[in-house]
Amino acid sequence: MTTQTKILVVDDDALNRAILREFLEGKFDFDDCNDGQQCINYLNSCIKNDEELPFLILLDVNMPVMDGLEACRQIKANPDLSKIDVIFISALSSAEDRINGYEAGCFDYFAKPFHEDELLRKIEIVQKNQSEHHKKEKSLSEARSTAMTAMTNASEIGVILRTIQELYSLNTNEDIVKNILSACNVYGLKVVITIALDTPHQASIATRGNAKPIEIELIKLLRQKEAIYHFDKRTLFSYGDTSLLVLNMPIEDEDLYGRFKDHLAIIVEGAESRVKAIIAEHKREQQRVQLTKLVHVVEELMTALEEGQQKQQIEHEVLMSNFMTKIEDSFATLGLTHEQEETLEQLVEETEKGSNALFDKGAELQEKLTSIKMMLRLAIT
């Protein structure tokens, strides 16, 4: 801040004004007024015409039209003037006079006649105090600005978190583009969003409703260039099948532009992750459906095999029983010796045992098929 140098002297005595002018000229810019009302009019004129205000007013107390105390009160009551410091220079020097000056809002109070060196020292103190006050205000303003930026960033990040959280509950590309559009609306951005262009699952949306054909063509053309591609006020974010074309990026605000670029990149990458997850979920569901059909086919085959095996076992047992009966009945007519009959019976029994062994192996195979069926059922649940 450039140190202010203008001082306004207000005194109805021309000699007093001349003395102060002689003392102050060469050290400070100088203006003077005859009374309190003229002082107020002068200050209002500075505000109206956007002219430099004095940093200090040397004000007499006892004046016609408007005295110094009233003028000081009006100055301190006006937000545009209240930072101007006032030093009373008056012939009135009692304790009561000084208290009245303090209550009116003065910085200091000098009794006439005053010492020039002391007044100069007070003026330097005023300048120093105002400079320090300005530094503190600037620091406070910067702190407020930093706090506001932090709150703004927190709000912007909150949009990202909410958007990403909602993404993972969505199951269609149409819902995903609407989710991204909602976040961009909060940021005040005009956008075009596309997912899976030139596929049966294509989805697109724009801030105004439908995307223009030229915008779709631009996205197709530019999305192969870079993940983030900027041209004019437009920026295209492309990750895999998901693209976001922003039509009004705030390029005039470098900080905001940088934040938005980071925020939108995170959102688009998150959306693309969800798109891939949905595709994977669809593939897994298709595989599950196919596996379910396969299990049903296997179950039907196994049921048919089991029923056929049981039927064959029964028929085999009946056949072997009838065969043994016929063999035994034929012994009376064949004229076989006792040894021959025993040999023949032994051969028949061995054949029956071999046949039963084959059926036992079939039962073992049936058990294995049943285990396979149970494993397939577990795979689809």
Both 174 and 218 in one domain: the answer is yes
Q: What percent of the chain has pLDDT over 70?
A: 87
Q: How confident is the model over 102-119, as a mean pLDDT?
A: 88
- In the prediction, which pLDDT does 311 show? 80
Residue 193: which of 165, 162, 157, 163 has the closest Cα?
Answer: 163
Q: Quick check: is 149 in a domain? A: no
Q: Which of 260, 281, 302 is the last residue of a domain?
A: 281
Q: Quick check: is 256 in a domain? A: yes
Q: Specify whether the CB–CB gap between 248 and 190 falls below 8 A.
A: yes
Q: How confident is the model over 303-327, as a mean pLDDT?
A: 75
Q: Which of 281, 301, 318 is the last residue of a domain?
A: 281
- For residue 209, the enclosing domain spans 170-281
> Pairing between strand 191-195 and 203-206?
antiparallel
Residue 102 has pLDDT above 50, yes or no: yes
Both 254 and 302 in one domain: the answer is no
* Number of Cβ within a 10 Å radius of residue 100: 18
- In the prediction, which pLDDT does 88 show? 93
Residues 6+ apart with CB under 8 A from 205: 177, 178, 181, 192, 193, 211
Total domains present in the chain: 3
Q: Name the pLDDT band for 131 (thresholds 50, 70, 90).
A: confident
Q: Quick check: is 157 in a domain? A: no
Rounded to two decimals, the pTM is 0.49
Both 229 and 291 in one domain: the answer is no
Look at the alpha carbons of 57, 58, 60, 63 in this order and tell me if their dihedral is positive or negative: negative
- My answer on whether omega of the bond before 113 falls inside 30° of 0, hence cis, is yes
Residue 187 sits in a domain whose CATH number is 3.30.450
- In the prediction, which pLDDT does 359 show? 66
Q: Quick check: is 293 in a domain? A: yes
